[in-house]
Amino acid sequence: MDPVPVLEARDISKSFASTGTIALSGVRLSLRTGEIHAVVGENGAGKSTLARILSGMERPDTGKLFLRGREVRFLRPRDAERHGIGLVPQQSLLAPGLSVAENLILGHEPRTLGIFLDRRRAYYETALASASFSFPLDPGSRISSLSPPERREAEILRALARGGEVLILDEPTSILTESEARNLFSLLKKLRDAGAAILLISHRVREVLSAADRITILRNGSLVGTILPGDTDECDLALRMASSSSCFTADGPSGGSGQAVFRFRGVSLRDSERVTLRDLEFEVRRGEIYGVAALAGNGLGALEDLACGERKCDAGSVELLGKPLWDWPRDVLRASVLAYLPTDRDGKGLCLGATVLENLAARGASRADWSRSGRASQRAAAARHLEEAGVRVRLDSPIDVLSGGNRQRVLSARELGPFAPAVLAANPTQGLDPRAQEETWNRLRSRAREGAGILLLTSSVDELFSVADRVAVLYRGRLTELGIRSGSVTADAVTRLLTGAAS
């Protein structure tokens, strides 16, 4: 016999007139106290829309919400908060310039005499909340000075402080590394055991299986079903999420041989954040994918800056195709030699505000004219590359309206469409659903087979083992080569190296 769910959604539908898309149609969901309920689906399946409806940020076109069996209507987020529902959105809504405490009370400021902000009480309340959930957060520290996991904690704390009973988390681990994600989940389990109802929006099959008590699957805005984690496994769940019924098949590894594409010789770099790259010595040869894995804060970002030519090393040399990287003219380098998928996709990889076509044409391999005839041929080339990448978007729509997965597809269409002998891929599948992830990996593999040398920088062991031919680990600025990926190199060994457990 089912207990009365704390929050229940019945037959929720929502469409967006401006884009003509149906985000949700007839979705049902019930959330009980003391459970972690996962909502999974591919990018664009309607997960975030559901979260926004449940937390009062959007109103459904049809359908009803029930709180402990009584119908409720949320006109604005505050209505949901009043009923104890807190949302941790995918993209942080914290004000970076304010402190944790100030963010927590924003909109609910404790006042003295009804006018003045009672700062002391704000700090006290924050410290109390922080301690009661055993978060090690200092109420006075600025949001901008926090690390990504700390920001997530601050978000959760804010949602708890406002709601308390129902916590909705939208892709909470998208900006976290695996170990940080594990910590987050043990925290969520603690909250669950204390009686909270937690709705977890995610597309990461593995973490959902390990953390959730029940799983609701969405596909293209429709409900596929609600299942227990014991009734499924990774492959099965991924299949249920996938919008096409065929299971993706991973291509096998490609073999590396031949001349060096990237060559790092005794490279050292002092980074602003304590991490120092020391004596990096490795090369990436034609036709191979060389994977370097590291957790956040171990120098992977600095290595990315070096490999794309944004920064110069303090000692040693970085060579590309036998020539010092800094001697390549920047425009030639990026136009026809180096393909680059940056970690910061929206900041460095794409130009938000510009159209899809402009983003694609930004890397004119031929530096063709942008004249009318030039544009026509670029349109054709862009359309072809997009089709190869499996993206169906209008060339003239602004890149901003695309989902994360489609943005990544546009990026890889631009970078991996035309052949380049060197490829730098930094966390190329971060935030992608399994299908988009597999597509990206396959493109990298096929580029390697065609003879490109690929340097893959990643913070995911999964990714490292899925695509890299040779693997290395970066820990506190030092690189350990593990050689060819095979039975002798296990994920366990890599994980131990990543965390410094084996040194």
Summarize as ranges the residues that interact with another protein (CB under 8 A).
91-93, 308, 310, 330-335, 340, 342, 347-354, 358, 361-364, 367-372, 374-375, 400
d(CA 282, CA 262): 8
Instruction: Say how many CA atoms lie within 13 Å of 144 toward its Cβ.
Output: 4
Q: Which residues lie below 8 Å from residue 130, measured CB to CB, with a gap of 6+?
A: 100, 136, 137, 139, 157
Q: How far is the CB of 369 from another protein (least distance, A)?
A: 6
| Alpha-carbon distances, residue 196 vs 8, 37, 161, 199 (angstroms) | 15, 11, 13, 10
Q: What is the largest CA-CA distance in the chain?
A: 76
Question: What single-letter DSSP state applies at residue 347?
Answer: I
Place of tokens 């916590």: 167
Token pair belonging to 95: 């004000």
Q: Which is nearer to another protein, 389 or 424 (CB)?
A: 424
Q: Which is nearer to another protein, 194 or 362 (CB)?
A: 362
Q: Which is nearer to another protein, 265 or 363 (CB)?
A: 363
Output Rg (C-alpha) for the chain, integer angstroms.
24
Q: How far is the CB of 414 from another protein (least distance, A)?
A: 10
Q: How far is the CB of 359 from another protein (least distance, A)?
A: 8
Q: Which is nearer to another protein, 31 or 413 (CB)?
A: 413
Q: Which is nearer to another protein, 375 or 476 (CB)?
A: 375
d(CA 339, CA 419): 8
Q: Which is nearer to another protein, 308 or 391 (CB)?
A: 308
d(CA 340, CA 334): 8
Backbone angles phi and psi of 230, in degrees to 5: -70, -20
Q: Which is nearer to another protein, 93 or 247 (CB)?
A: 93
Q: Which is nearer to another protein, 131 or 352 (CB)?
A: 352
Q: How far is the CB of 347 from another protein (least distance, A)?
A: 6
How would you label 34-54 residue by residue, b for 16+ Cβ within 10 Å and e otherwise? Answer: ebbbbbbbbbbbbbbbbbbbb
Q: Which is nearer to another protein, 16 or 116 (CB)?
A: 16
Q: How far is the CB of 156 from another protein (least distance, A)?
A: 18
How would you label 381-413 residue by residue, b for 16+ Cβ within 10 Å and e otherwise? Answer: bbeebbeebebebebeeebeebbbbbbbbbbbb
d(CA 125, CA 327): 57
Q: How far is the CB of 210 from another protein (least distance, A)?
A: 29
Say if CB 290 and CB 477 are below 8 A apart: no
Q: How far is the CB of 411 from another protein (least distance, A)?
A: 11
Q: Which is nearer to another protein, 361 or 489 (CB)?
A: 361
Q: Which is nearer to another protein, 187 or 354 (CB)?
A: 354
Q: How far is the CB of 306 from another protein (least distance, A)?
A: 14
d(CA 217, CA 348): 33
Token pair belonging to 39: 């909502």
Q: Which is nearer to another protein, 40 or 318 (CB)?
A: 318
Token pair belonging to 20: 């003509």
Q: Which is nearer to another protein, 90 or 298 (CB)?
A: 90
Q: How far is the CB of 30 from another protein (least distance, A)?
A: 31
Q: How far is the CB of 148 from another protein (least distance, A)?
A: 15
For residue 266, how far is the Cα from the chain centroid?
Answer: 32
d(CA 100, CA 326): 42
Residue closest to 207 by CA, chosen among 231, 186, 223, 192: 186
Cα torsion 272, 263, 414, 341: sign: negative
d(CA 501, CA 139): 32
Q: How far is the CB of 239 from another protein (least distance, A)?
A: 32
Say if CB 26 and CB 183 are below 8 A apart: no
DSSP 170-223: ESTTTTS-HHHHHHHHHHHHHHHHTT-EEEEEE--HHHHHHH-SEEEEEETTEE
Q: How far is the CB of 374 from another protein (least distance, A)?
A: 8
Q: How far is the CB of 342 from another protein (least distance, A)?
A: 7
